[in-house]
């Protein structure tokens, strides 16, 4: 009997795609749409504020520049209605899409509170543009621009091109001209259609989409969920993403030691930090089997570098600390798990959750660590006589129980200068003291990994209690 081997054809490169009547969501957008449909749209608002000082700020030109940027980047003028066949992207006509801009007079002392309130308003993704702005006038030469964009239309790597295009458009509008943007090679709709072409259909068992879904379903079956973290208050049925931050810093010496251990282990700095993170979560939850998450940028193709849109998505790392003989063995396991996860980056969380035999109310993960490298390039030039600086928004959203957003920093010679970033936690579940205890545990694990420790793991997860009372003389 003849046997046939199904071979998945090599994918076509990313390119301009013919438009279809129905544009589905990109895989990275599905979790945001599902959260919004469940009443948690505001949890995914991305808020940034910029203080503009030095020269007289032309608010009319700034409003026009915002509209220019919305015309240039389709996700900023896209609605996401649900249909009988699932949610779709509905791109509004570039000539009629206008940013909702408020211009208000304000005072510095009240500004952060007012921006936080502005940023907390939910978007109706089915009918509203996913962007709004507020221009807060502190004086003719001093304004704060607050931008709120729903995460379904923007990721972290969208901020630099967004601000670069906004400055370009503002300079042109103050000169009475339309901006002369460099043409984009593709847009977000091209990317979406190409991505679905690349992945294929879930009803095709041999498609990339089905192959990746099977990988995750098999990899995650039988894991303990949810992890029993030491909550100070019971988990509420009502979602509350209000959070707080503890800043984390590892100095240059520790950074250098981690890089040396990574080279020795044939791993990366990211893998070592994930090893320490998995150990910390395992100790905190008293579970030797933990699933944590990280993010992939989704911008592997250079044609996507200047686009505003949401390409980033989560991938899961299931770490079995109980299957590692010692620290070196655990680092090797994390390396294998991470490489396999990054090879299967395209399964949307809502679809994966539906394929797992667990209570759909349980989260896929409760802890996440993201590591990025600081941009070594000089900052983008600003208009002559104008200073543009970040202004605090007063908004902290902790959508998961334990969240690290770390950045590795290097000087102009490439020498490591330290690892920094925030730890976010939900105040509805943890007191600050409990969160600080977890950060301390993570710091201890990082130092242990950097020190070259190769010993057993059980003492790290279940340390022996200190004996009380006096020692007996023998």
User: What was the pLDDT predicted at 139?
Assistant: 87
Coil/strand/helix, residue 21: coil
Stretch 408-428: mean pLDDT? 96
208-246 pLDDT per residue, tens: 999 999 999 999 988 998 999 999 998 776 678 889 999
284-302 pLDDT per residue, tens: 999 999 999 999 999 999 9
CA atoms within 13 A on the CB side of 208: 16
Residues contacting residue 302 through CB under 8 Å, at least 6 positions apart: none
- Given a cut of 60, whether residue 3 has pLDDT beyond it is no
Nearest C-alpha neighbor of 233 from the set 430, 425, 377, 37: 430
The secondary structure of 252-309 as a DSSP string is HHHHHHHHHHHHHHT--HHHHHHHHHHHHHHHHHT-SEEEEEEEE----SGGGTT--S
User: What was the pLDDT predicted at 1?
Assistant: 41
H or E element, residue 389? strand 387-390
Lowest mean pLDDT among 191-205, 222-236, 240-254: 222-236
> What size, in residues, is the chain?
474
- Given a cut of 70, whether residue 360 has pLDDT beyond it is no
Could you tell me if 309 and 153 are in contact, meaning their C-beta atoms sit under 8 angstroms apart? Answer: yes
User: What was the pLDDT predicted at 376?
Assistant: 56
CA atoms within 13 A on the CB side of 5: 2
Q: How far apart are CA 422 and CA 392, in angstroms?
A: 14
- Given a cut of 50, whether residue 136 has pLDDT beyond it is yes
152-189 pLDDT per residue, tens: 999 999 999 999 999 999 999 999 999 999 999 999 99
Stretch 454-471: mean pLDDT? 70
User: What was the pLDDT predicted at 466?
Assistant: 47
Q: Which residue has the higher pLDDT, 9 or 365?
A: 365
Q: How far apart are CA 364 and CA 387, in angstroms?
A: 43
Question: From residue 3, how far is each of 6, 147 by CA, in Å?
Answer: 10, 58
User: What was the pLDDT predicted at 266?
Assistant: 97
CB atoms within 10 A of CB 471: 6
Q: Which residue has the higher pLDDT, 81 or 350?
A: 81
Residues contacting residue 226 through CB under 8 Å, at least 6 positions apart: 362, 363, 366
User: What was the pLDDT predicted at 237?
Assistant: 62
Q: What is the mean pLDDT of the chain?
A: 91
Q: How far apart are CA 402 and CA 383, in angstroms?
A: 40
């Amino acid at each position: 009997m003849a046997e046939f081997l199904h071979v998945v054809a090599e994918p076509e490169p990313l390119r301009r795609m013919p438009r279809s009547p129905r544009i589905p969501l990109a895989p990275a957008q599905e979790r945001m749409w599902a959260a919004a449909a469940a009443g948690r749209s505001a949890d995914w608002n991305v808020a940034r504020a910029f203080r503009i000082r030095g020269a007289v700020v032309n608010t009319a030109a700034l409003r026009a520049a915002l509209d220019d940027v919305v015309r240039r980047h389709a996700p900023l003028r896209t609605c996401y209605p649900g249909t009988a066949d699932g949610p779709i992207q509905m791109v509004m006509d570039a000539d009629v899409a206008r940013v909702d801009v408020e211009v208000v007079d304000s005072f510095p002392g009240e500004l952060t509170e007012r921006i936080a309130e502005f940023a907390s308003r939910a978007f109706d993704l089915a009918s509203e543009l996913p962007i709004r702005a507020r221009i807060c006038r502190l004086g003719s030469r001093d304004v704060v621009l607050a931008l709120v964009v729903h995460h379904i239309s923007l990721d972290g790597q969208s901020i630099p091109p967004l601000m670069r295009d906004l400055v370009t458009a503002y300079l042109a509008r103050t000169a009475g001209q339309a901006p002369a943007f460099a043409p984009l090679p593709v847009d977000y709709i091209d990317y979406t259609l190409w991505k679905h072409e690349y992945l294929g259909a879930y009803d095709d068992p041999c498609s990339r989409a089905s192959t990746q879904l099977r990988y995750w379903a098999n990899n995650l079956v039988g894991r303990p969920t949810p992890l029993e973290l030491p909550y100070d208050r019971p988990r509420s049925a009502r979602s509350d993403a209000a959070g707080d931050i503890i800043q984390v810093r590892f100095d240059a010496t520790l950074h250098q030691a981690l890089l040396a251990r990574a080279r020795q282990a044939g791993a990366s700095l990211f893998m070592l930090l994930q090893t320490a993170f998995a150990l910390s979560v395992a100790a905190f939850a008293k579970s030797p089997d933990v699933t944590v998450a990280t993010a992939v940028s989704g911008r592997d193709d250079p044609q996507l570098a200047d686009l505003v849109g949401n390409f980033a998505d989560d991938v899961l790392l299931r770490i079995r600390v109980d299957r590692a003989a010692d620290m070196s063995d655990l680092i090797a396991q994390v390396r294998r798990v991470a490489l396999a996860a990054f090879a299967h980056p395209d399964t949307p969380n809502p679809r994966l959750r539906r394929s797992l035999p667990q209570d759909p109310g349980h989260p896929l993960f409760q802890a996440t660590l993201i590591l990025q490298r600081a941009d070594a390039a000089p900052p983008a030039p600003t208009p002559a006589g104008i200073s543009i600086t970040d202004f605090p928004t007063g908004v902290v959203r902790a959508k998961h129980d334990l969240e690290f957003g770390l950045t590795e920093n290097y000087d102009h010679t490439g020498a490591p200068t330290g690892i920094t970033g925030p730890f976010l936690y939900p105040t509805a579940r943890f007191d600050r003291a409990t969160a600080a205890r977890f950060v301390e545990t993570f710091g201890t694990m990082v130092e242990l990994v950097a020190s070259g420790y190769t010993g057993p793991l059980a003492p790290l997860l279940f340390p022996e209690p200190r004996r009380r009372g006096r020692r007996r003389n023998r």
